[in-house]
Every structure is written in C-alpha cells, then in structure tokens.
Amino acid sequence: MEDYPNIKQLSLRELQHALLDILVEVDKFCRENRISYSLTYGTLLGAIRHKGFIPWDDDLDIMMPRKDFEHFMALFPQSGSGSRFTTLYNTDTPDSKCILCYGKVEDTTSVCNELKRKYLYKFGINIDIFPIDSAPADPAEHYKFARTVSRLRHRLYLSQRPFFPFTFHDPIIPKIQAHRRSPDEWFHILENYLTQYNGKNTPYSGPVSGGMGTIEIYRNEVFKKYTEVEFEGHSFRAIADWDTFLRQQFGDYMQLPPEDKRKSHAIVAYFKEDTQ
C-alpha cells in the first residue's frame, strides 16, 4: 500500500479480528432491524468445523434474501456518510469504488488490496454480502442461468479495466463487448438478470451472484429456517439446514483439504491511523 508506507501491514489474525468487528456491527444492526442473514461459504464452514475462521482464511461472507438485502442496503450507513462501517453497492466515488453484483460493508478507517485479482475497486477491509435470488423452476435451465450470470459478471469486471487488446487471460471478443457499455450499464443488466425470477413460483433459489455455477442453486427449503452458530466466541445467524448447503459447496466438508489446497485471497490490509 504505497499510500501508507510507514504503517505496519496487518497479520492474518489481525485481519481476521478486523473482519470480525465488521460482522459484529452488521449482526447487531440486522437484529435491531429484523433483517435476516446467514453466514455463508467458507465463513459458514468455519463456524461449523472450527467455530471460527478457517485458520488460513482472510475474508468473511454472509448472505441475505433479496428483500432483506435491499432493506439492509437502504438502512445501513452508506459510503460517504462519515460512519466507520458503511455499505458499498454499485458505488463509484473518489474514496470508494465498488461496482459489483453483490454488496460489501467496509471499515473506512482501513485500506486493503486483494493481490490475486488486481481489481480497480477501492475500499477498506470489508465483508461480502450476497443476495439470495430465485432461480428457474425447470432444473434443465439452471446451467444456462448460472452460465449467463458468470458471463455477465465477467463483462462487468472487464468493463472496469483498461482496454488492452491482447492479453493472455481475456480473449479479445469479450473485452470488446465489455467496453461497448459502461460499468453502470453492465451492473443493471446483471442485476435485472439475477432478479428476473424473484416473486415467481419457483422452488429454487440461492446466492447465485457469487458466480460459481449451479452449485449455488438449492431448493428453497434450505433458506427458510435459521439458527444460531458459534463463530470466534460470538453467536451469529445461519441457515438451519447448513449441512445441505455445505455438502453441495464442499462435499465432505468436515475433512481438512490437503495443505496445497488451503488457499486464501492474498489480502494485504492496513489501518490508516496507527490507533487500532
């Protein structure tokens, strides 16, 4: 972080504690405002298998039904409000750039970077919030639906990067397509696609904005009931049928992966002031 050369980079455990501070604030806000949420992905796995963070994990994820997600984004302090913890969702300001198909809550007293992805987004230490949306009623359509979500996510990502015609990872045609529209246009195209089945009579839903394919689509019953789970000495909300969710995501989730598969996001983080 060249903007803060004299401030010590947080250790992995210090970063985990900073993420936990955000989650504690989000949990308090959701309980006060009757907003449903659940730990998800590796965070939910960590709660069940480790009663806290997966030891090598450096991010934190939750999910919410779309209506609760929209309610949360409307009520929680937003970027530029002056609050320490603020939401980021289709945000493009001098201090916070975050044009994604899911939301974040950031700690504005911090700064961080995800080395693996080299995003142009600008924000502090943050947790991800994935909306739960409905999926097609016909399972035969799930692959097409998930595939299109992944393609639109990729166009949104490419639209925010400089246009270099020839790079190894991104073919030229998708880059041309991506730069024919603004990031804001791609954001709304993707959001409209994600929400097209909401309110319709379909038995399937999931946090499909995560972009990981049909693995994110479940029977609605998985998201109907909630319980409490322990995470780092705190009690947080989680879907009661976490076993079904985790088995679909991770298989035999209680088994630790081989050491060479224990990967993080390679996040580097700092607090802007040496007062934490």
Q: What is the mean pLDDT of residues 139-162?
A: 91
Tell me how crowded residue 95 is: count the other CB atoms within 10 A of its CB.
12
Pick from 22-36, 128-142, 176-190: least confident:
176-190
DSSP 139: G
User: What tens digit of pLDDT does each residue of 216-231 get?
Assistant: 999 999 999 999 999 9
Dig out the tokens for 19 from the structure: 């993420």
User: What tens digit of pLDDT does each residue of 13-61 get?
Assistant: 999 999 999 999 999 999 999 999 999 999 999 999 999 999 999 999 9
Any idea of the CA torsion for 249, 252, 257, 262, to the nearest 10 degrees?
20
Confidence (pLDDT) at 276: 46
pTM given for the model = 0.91
DSSP 182: -
φ/ψ of residue 117, rounded to 5 = -110, -25
Strands 97-98 and 103-107: unpaired
When the pLDDT of each residue in the chain is averaged and rounded to a whole number, the result is 90
Distance CA 242, CA 215 (A): 14
Q: CA-based angle 104:21:38, to the nearest 5?
A: 55
Query: Is 246's pLDDT higher than 90?
Result: yes
What domains appear along the chain, each with residue ranges and CATH number? 12-132+205-271 (3.30.460)
Confidence (pLDDT) at 22: 98
Distance CA 242, CA 255 (A): 16
Helix (H, G, I), strand (E, B) or coil at 239: strand
For residue 96, with 0-12 CB atoms within 10 Å meaning exposed, 13-18 middle and 19 or more buried, which class applies?
buried
User: What tens digit of pLDDT does each residue of 51-106 get?
Assistant: 999 999 999 999 999 999 999 999 999 877 889 999 988 877 766 777 889 999 99
